[in-house]
Structure 1
Amino acid sequence: MKHHFITTDGDMKARWVEAFPEASSISAEQGSDAIGTGDVAWLVTTIDDWPLRVGDLAQRGVTVVVLSYSADDQEALLAFEQGARGYAHTLAAPEVLEQVALVVTNQGIWAGQALLSKVLGGSFQALQQRRAGEPSLSAPLLAQLT
């Protein structure tokens, strides 16, 4: 598994090199043919067509993490919709980048705490509304605890 950082100019941030010394850098103009199945592509949102690139890479079996200078919930949701496994700040600390890589390469999803809270909260509310009128699944358990 290799790490590849795709940026507008192919420039590598020092924190990226610190986290992944063997990582390669690819400019937006270069093709992504060197990125293979099982590799991790770190794609910066300053590239105009980043959502299309995420979809292309994900379809090829590449684990994609989208990096943004200004984290935004809508942007993160678009990244995940296109097949990204992670969404993080471009200037995250090397230790955070290493954690992101560990999570996404083990089939996990990496999202910011605020977005994760919203998604879980929305899912909980949807389940509650769906179950309105149905007997609570936790009622027998709660009865035993009292």
Structure 2
Amino acid sequence: MNNSRKSVALEIQNMVLRHRTLSVEQISEQTFGSAKSHWTLYKELNPEDSTAKMGVLDLVPLMKTCGSITPLEAIAHQMNMVVFPLPEAGIFTGHLENDMNRTTKEFSDAVVKFASIMEDGRIEPHEFAEFEKEMMEFISAALHWRNGIKALVEE
């Protein structure tokens, strides 16, 4: 097994086997009910056992039961990405959620642009202009989101 797959497998294994309050049996029961025994879960957690592997469809409910996203973070890290929580849907009006999502997207675009202009270790004036444009779009989106939130302030 290559190192990247092994690191994700180890994160899943640690998440389940080192859970502070639940045993593997309890985690298996709460996550899968009678559909999967804890012995099957033990086999799937063993990175050296190639006969049983956890499917991605099982990983999400398992992370919810364990209250941990470390396997997801390990996957994101391998893809040069990050994971961060967003508020639960429905806690604010649609336009604020859209504004938050746009701000997040603009920030991501600025980071990607920064990475692309830094590939050769030098920044040309036109590259900085492209980056500055992305930053201004991010700042504009963030201020628009802020103003939407400020409009809700009770005075």
Greater fraction of residues in strand: 1
When normalised by structure 2's length, the TM-score is 0.28
Larger helix share, 1 or 2: 2
Structure with higher Rg: it is 2
Normalising by structure 1, report the TM-score: 0.29
